[in-house]
Structures are given as structure tokens and as C-alpha cells.
């Protein structure tokens, strides 16, 4: 069995009830989005940004660095999941920048609220499931959650990963 298959199967063990699964379909992408948004509030040093083209400066932050590192992890597991996560990550970065441009409130505050609400949702789902979140056993499952959600989308679209 491929590593990605065993990780997804192990993650699925604590995600069997429909309510928990539905909550995860919403909350896992929101947690990913808000975490990257929180990290987007931390700019890269001027020594790095001064060397970058002006067109990518809105994305020159710690969130982008974390996405790149995460994509390397996903690439090691599955090329197809990597492509899916790359596209999703690009959308996340785009929408974070759009929220930033709206200037409704500080970006970190908006993202912190989303992050807290999404984690509350996750814990409600796991309470309903009657099982602890997978990451308590192995922190690697914090990275597998988004891949698990993406794998369900791929299954629905008939895409083999």
C-alpha cells in the first residue's frame, strides 16, 4: 500500500460519521485558509522582498513559505494531490489578498476569528464522532486533513490520486 493510502485510511478511522465528515469538509479548508492568513500577517524580511518582482510582493509573507513547504510534503505523497493542493493554495493566497485589500479589519483578526470558529467546529464533529482528532496521535495528520478532504473531492470527480 502506498504511504498516502495508508495515511488517508488511518485518518478516516476517526472520521466515520456523516456529521463529522461534513464538518470536516467545511472546517479543514477554513483552518488551512485562516492559518495561512494568520501567517500572511508576518511579512518576509526586506532583504528578501527587495529582490522580488513587485507583482508578487502581496504574496511575500510567511504564509507563502509554509505553503511551499507543505507542497513539497504533498508532492512526496502523490503528484495528483500535490496538483490539487497547489491549485487550492493559489486560491487561498488570492482570497487572502482580496480580504486584505478590503481593509475591513486587520487581516490577523479576521483570520483568528475564522481559525477559532473552525476549530470549534472540528471539536464538535469529533465529540459527535466519539473519537479524538487524529493529530493528537501524530502531528503529521494536521497535513493529512487537507489531503483527505481533497481526496474526497477527487473521488467525487473520478480522479485517481
Please give the C-alpha separations between residue 40 and each of 10, 85, 114, 138, 155, in angstroms, as whole numbers: 31, 18, 14, 26, 31
HSE-CB for 46 with a 13 A CA cutoff: 0
Mean pLDDT taken over the chain: 93
Q: Rounded distance, CA 93 to CA 104, Å?
A: 18
Beta partners for 61? 43
Give the pLDDT confidence of 3-23 residue by residue, as tens digits: 898 989 989 888 989 999 999
- Above pLDDT 90, what percent of the chain? 81
Average pLDDT of the segment spanning 139-158: 91
* 8 A C-beta contact, residue 122 and residue 27: yes
Whole-prediction pTM:
0.90
> What grid cell was written down for 110?
479576521
Give the pLDDT confidence of 25-60 residue by residue, as tens digits: 999 999 999 999 999 999 999 999 999 999 999 999
- Give the pLDDT of residue 125: 94
* Residues whose CB is less than 8 angstroms from the CB of residue 78 and which lie 6 or more positions away in sequence, other chains included: 2, 4, 147, 161
Distance linking the first and last C-alpha atoms of the chain: 13
Residue 102: Cβ within 10 Å count: 9
- Please tell me whether residue 40 adopts helix, strand or coil conformation: helix
Amino acid at each position: 500500500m502506498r504511504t498516502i493510502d495508508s495515511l488517508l485510511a488511518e485518518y478516516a478511522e476517526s472520521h466515520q460519521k456523516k456529521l463529522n465528515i461534513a464538518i470536516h469538509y467545511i472546517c479543514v479548508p477554513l483552518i488551512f485558509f485562516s492559518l495561512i492568513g494568520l501567517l500572511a500577517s508576518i511579512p518576509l524580511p526586506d532583504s528578501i522582498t527587495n529582490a522580488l518582482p513587485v507583482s508578487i510582493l502581496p504574496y511575500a509573507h510567511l504564509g507563502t513559505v509554509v505553503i511551499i513547504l507543505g507542497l513539497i510534503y504533498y508532492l512526496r505523497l502523490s503528484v495528483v494531490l500535490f496538483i490539487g493542493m497547489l491549485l487550492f493554495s493559489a486560491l487561498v493566497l488570492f482570497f487572502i489578498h482580496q480580504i486584505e485589500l478590503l481593509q475591513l479589519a486587520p487581516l490577523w483578526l479576521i483570520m483568528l476569528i475564522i481559525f477559532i470558529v473552525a476549530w470549534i467546529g472540528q471539536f464538535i464533529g469529533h465529540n459527535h464522532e466519539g473519537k479524538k482528532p487524529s493529530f493528537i496521535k501524530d502531528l503529521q495528520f494536521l497535513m493529512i486533513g487537507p489531503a483527505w478532504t481533497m481526496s474526497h473531492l477527487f473521488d467525487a470527480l473520478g480522479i485517481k490520486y
